[in-house]
Each structure stands twice: as C-alpha cells, then as structure tokens.
C-alpha cells in the first residue's frame, strides 16, 4: 500500500497539476490541514530537480498566505481559533503562545516555523494574541522559506542519487519519519 501511495504522489508531482496542488497544500497546512507540504514538495523536487527552487518559492508563498489565513482566524474569529486549537490537542494554545512569547520573543515564531510541527498552531495563536502582523509575516516568510529552500537545495543536489535508495527502503524511511515526527510532537507537548 505504501509503495502504491508513493508512486501516486510521484505521478502527481510530475503532472501539470503539481504546482497548484503544492500551493494549495502549503496554504491549507498553515491554517487548518494536518499534512505538511513537505510530503508533496519532496517528491516534486525528486521528480523535477531543475524546478526545485521554483517549487520551494511556491511552497513558501502558499505557506505564508495560509499563515495569514490562520492569523486571521485567530484575530477575527477567536472562538473558531480556540476550537481549532482544542481540536488539535492544544486547548490552552493562546496562553501557551503568550507564555512562550513572553519568555522567548520572536524566537517562538522563528523556531517553530522551521520545525516539522503543525505551523497552524503558531499562526492561529499569533492571531489570538494579536501579535504584530508585519513581524509575523516577515518571520513566517524567513523561516518557512529557509525550510523549503533548504529541502529543495539538498534534494536538487543529492536527490537523484538518493531516489533509488528511497524506493528500495521506503517502508523503513516512512517508519523513521513517523518516529521522528512522533518524537518532535512529544517533545513539543512536554515543553512548558
């Protein structure tokens, strides 16, 4: 089943709809969707390494635009923002964000924008906390851009050599990615 899904994503990543799908996933992930855009960005860059930087830019733009949507949900639709944070397992998300921001300042957005954790938590909580919008957009663009351009650059450079290894060891790599994501989520939940 995993191999079939992998081949479907690889086919989509080489199709004429790939760029639109990537932008849509990047947008939705920053506000409400649970799957990170990396799941589509990585196979797209592997399928067409020459377009890797374009895909990273598209992913960044979609993610920042989606971040603005998440911010707007928190800012203008606070009850919906609180409900979404509760749905994601963070009913005290606004209070936690305010505490993190009081302790760490702008570093909260910068660090969380780089990590493969649900960025929508930061976007919605930033809106709920009425965080400075210009700083939020700049930090989002910087961190999301750094993340997606770094992924694209590494895959453009080493991806063609790694593709056969990935295809042979897909189940093991998927298990490792799930374990890493679980560890990151556990660490985030255990932080005060």
Predicted local distance difference test score (pLDDT) of residue 145: 93
Residue with the larger pLDDT of the pair 2 and 137: 137
Does 181 have pLDDT greater than 60?
no
Band (3; pLDDT cuts 50, 70, 90)? low
**31 and 109 Cβ atoms separated by less than 8 Å:** no
| Total domains present in the chain | 1
Least confident of 1-15, 30-44, 124-138, 164-178: 164-178
> Cβ distance 127 to 74 under 8 Å?
yes
The fraction of the chain above a pLDDT of 90, given in percent, is: 26
pLDDT digits (tens, 9 = 90+) for 115-143: 666 788 889 888 988 889 999 999 999 99
Ranked by mean pLDDT, the top range of 30-34, 83-87, 154-158 is 154-158
Q: Are 116 and 181 in contact (CB under 8 A)?
A: yes
CA–CA separation, 135 vs 55, rounded Å?
24
Q: Which 3 state secondary structure label does DSSP give 7?
A: helix
Among 6-10, 38-42, 84-88, whose mean pLDDT is lowest? 6-10
For residues 170 and 2, is the Cβ–Cβ distance under 8 A?
Answer: yes
- pLDDT, residue 53, reads 95
Give the other-Cβ count within 10 Å of 144's Cβ. Answer: 25
Under 8 Å CB-to-CB from 162, ≥6 apart: which residues?
46, 155
> So what's the pLDDT on residue 157?
85
Mean pLDDT of 54-73: 96
Domain that holds residue 80: 2-190
Contact assessment for residue 121 and residue 81, using Cβ atoms and an 8 Å cutoff:
no
pLDDT at 15: 80
């Amino acid at each position: 089943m995993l191999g079939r899904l992998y081949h479907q994503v690889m086919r989509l990543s080489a199709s004429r709809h790939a760029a639109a799908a990537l932008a849509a996933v990047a947008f939705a992930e920053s506000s409400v969707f649970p799957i990170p855009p990396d799941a589509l960005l990585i196979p797209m860059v592997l399928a067409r390494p020459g377009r890797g930087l374009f895909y990273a830019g598209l992913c960044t733009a979609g993610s920042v635009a989606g971040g603005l949507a998440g911010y707007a949900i928190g800012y203008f639709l606070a009850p919906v923002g609180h409900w979404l944070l509760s749905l994601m397992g963070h009913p005290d998300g606004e209070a936690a964000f305010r505490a993190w921001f009081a302790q760490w300042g702008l570093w909260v957005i910068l660090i969380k924008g780089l990590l493969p954790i649900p960025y929508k938590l930061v976007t919605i909580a930033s809106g709920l906390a009425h965080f400075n919008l210009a700083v939020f957009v700049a930090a989002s663009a910087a961190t999301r851009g750094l993340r997606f351009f770094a992924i694209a650059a590494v895959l453009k450079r080493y991806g063609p050599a790694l593709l056969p290894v990935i295809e042979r060891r897909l189940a093991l790599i998927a298990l490792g990615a799930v374990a890493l994501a679980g560890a990151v989520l556990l660490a985030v939940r255990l932080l005060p």
